[in-house]
Structure 1
């Protein structure tokens, strides 16, 4: 594979992207820093197609990333391959307002072939290629310039190895007939709604004990204010205000800005500075949340109860057995909340009762809940027995 020198020139990048545009797939990775910022600080982009690979410096003066971004979001003929690519996809979305398309994630694909639920990149490469990666540059400061050869070699290795492993994983999926199993997961990864940070929706990430309209209205207003402050200042949300502090203020709002000096988690300077004033203004504008917006406990599906909890435990055991039988990660077959809902008697809207999940697990799960399936120990091994079939035979 041809490895290019670090790309810092727009013309060289455009030529590279023109060649990649004729490839069936490209493996993509990014290096970024976000410990001290709201927006991830993109420091390096790596890309390979199996024939050539390069690292691109997005911080190079005057470099035009447009050809690369067009390849990511506008070229539907080239498959974009990532490993645990959620944050990489987020970066592309922040730059373009779109997500890479079409997309393939080898960490998700590994679930369908029995390699665990969140296999790390190093473990993936070791298991498929027998290569143990050098982790020495893993926690490097990617924002510092110039980057040295070891950093660049380490970064490019992420996509050169991935471009070799991807066709192997794809072939395994085809042999097992499980390619369609990944459709929902890949669509979820590429869903733009996952990467939109709307200030007015920020309250949904914060735990609050009360569901009173006044309190929920203040929580929504404060969360939106904090989100905008964090975005405008390019600081992590927690640097503006911790979730716990925000929820406490929403529950017990100060009557005047001077009282902010007594709020745990805030600097005393908030009593008379600009950010404290803006927060008080947000509180003053807060309105009670309409009842239909409040995610009240009464709107949730009821829990399974004591007996249902036992059934849920049996479903988890069944899931573990079935996942082992077909060599697939349990989470790909079913999520725990689906098991809880099924145990509580719910049927509508459960993914385990639809499509391939129903065929591979849901049918047996439903039979267990309805008393048509039981566990038995035969030859020292735990097995499933059809109770209905046994009754008919008798």
Structure 2
């Protein structure tokens, strides 16, 4: 299973010049969220519209902005599985979300396959292949990555395009492609709002508070967020 491995900023810039010609980008990431304020991206796996795969070592590359700009470029389809995490990385890096996203998990649900189906289930049910179940619980921060880790990571994007095409075919036969477009637009809006709109209003129990109490809640929420960011700790630990 051949793929390009990118570990320097110069290599990433060169790769992005080629990726910019791709009308479709399949994307998966490996990240750790248990120990820091924001999830730490450890690896990004990519496949283009010709099936060429790349692994971006985000712990070695300092600036991933050129890559996220490619992802956010209008007109390019981004294929993911349960891709909220990937989209949040993109939004934080560029301030934008891709306009055209095909999430195979959401699409499978609309096609009557299963929802929410994990990636291995979709590979088995839709493609009839046996999924790679190794390395599901692994430390992606560890370097160097083992050959089994790399194989597992690249399998996560190797199947994205075949899954996308097979599920899109089912949706088309059911006259449900428009359902998917509507659902993806709604979902993208929800992802954007969750990171950019008054998040303190989602604190449970605030519906019965008066204006003064809401102001106090907002200040406490803001302090907690800033303190968690300063310490680089999950908010739940502050």
Same fold (TM over 0.5): yes
| Contact 2:82–2:105 (CA under 8 A) maintained in structure 1 | yes
Equivalent in the alignment of 1:302? none
Residues matched between the structures, number: 236
C-alpha displacement at 1:18, in angstroms?
2.9
C-alpha displacement at 1:180, in angstroms?
0.7
Equivalent in the alignment of 1:233? 231
Matches within 5 A, 1:135-146: 135-146=133-144
Equivalent in the alignment of 1:54? 54
> CA–CA distance in 2 between the matches of 1:223 and 1:70?
31
> CA–CA distance in 1 between the matches of 2:84 and 2:125?
22
CA distance 1:18–1:189, change in 2 (3 Å)? farther
> CA–CA distance in 1 between the matches of 2:9 and 2:167?
34
Q: Which has the higher contact order (CA 8 A, sep 6+)?
A: 2
> CA–CA distance in 2 between the matches of 1:205 and 1:47?
36
1:30 maps to 2:36: no
> CA–CA distance in 2 between the matches of 1:203 and 1:123?
36
Q: Which ranges in structure 1 are unaligned for 5 or more consecutive residues?
A: 241-394
> CA–CA distance in 2 between the matches of 1:108 and 1:18?
30
CA distance 1:213–1:19, change in 2 (3 Å)? closer
Say which of 154, 157, 160 aligns to 1:156: 154
Which stretch of the first structure deviates more once superposed, 8-17 or 136-145? 8-17
Which stretch of the first structure deviates more once superposed, 101-110 or 29-38? 101-110
1:173 maps to 2:171: yes
> CA–CA distance in 1 between the matches of 2:34 and 2:12?
29
TM-score (norm 2): 0.89
C-alpha displacement at 1:203, in angstroms?
4.1
Q: In structure 2, the residue corresponding to 1:32 is in which secondary structure? A: strand
State the Cα deviation string for residues 302-342 of structure 1 (Å, max 9, x = none). Answer: xxxxxxxxxxxxxxxxxxxxxxxxxxxxxxxxxxxxxxxxx
C-alpha displacement at 1:87, in angstroms?
1.2
CA distance 1:5–1:224, change in 2 (3 Å)? same
C-alpha displacement at 1:25, in angstroms?
1.1
Equivalent in the alignment of 2:2? 3
Q: In structure 1, the residue corresponding to 2:71 is in which secondary structure? A: helix
TM-score (norm 1): 0.56
> CA–CA distance in 1 between the matches of 2:221 and 2:63?
35
Say which of 163, 187, 190 aligns to 1:189: 187
Q: In structure 2, the residue corresponding to 1:28 is in which secondary structure? A: strand
> CA–CA distance in 2 between the matches of 1:219 and 1:10?
42
| Contact 2:27–2:47 (CA under 8 A) maintained in structure 1 | yes
CA distance 1:176–1:207, change in 2 (3 Å)? same
> CA–CA distance in 2 between the matches of 1:52 and 1:209?
50
Q: Which ranges in structure 2 are unaligned for 5 or more consecutive residues?
A: none
State the Cα deviation string for residues 271-304 of structure 1 (Å, max 9, x = none). Answer: xxxxxxxxxxxxxxxxxxxxxxxxxxxxxxxxxx
Structure with the larger helix share: 1
> CA–CA distance in 2 between the matches of 1:180 and 1:128?
21
Which stretch of the first structure deviates more once superposed, 160-169 or 17-26? 17-26
> CA–CA distance in 1 between the matches of 2:201 and 2:222?
7
Task: Work out which of the two has the higher radius of gyration on C-alpha atoms and give 1 or 2.
Answer: 1
| Contact 1:137–1:151 (CA under 8 A) maintained in structure 2 | yes
State the Cα deviation string for residues 38-81 of structure 1 (Å, max 9, x = none). Answer: 211010000012421111101115x542331221112x232100
| Contact 1:203–1:224 (CA under 8 A) maintained in structure 2 | no
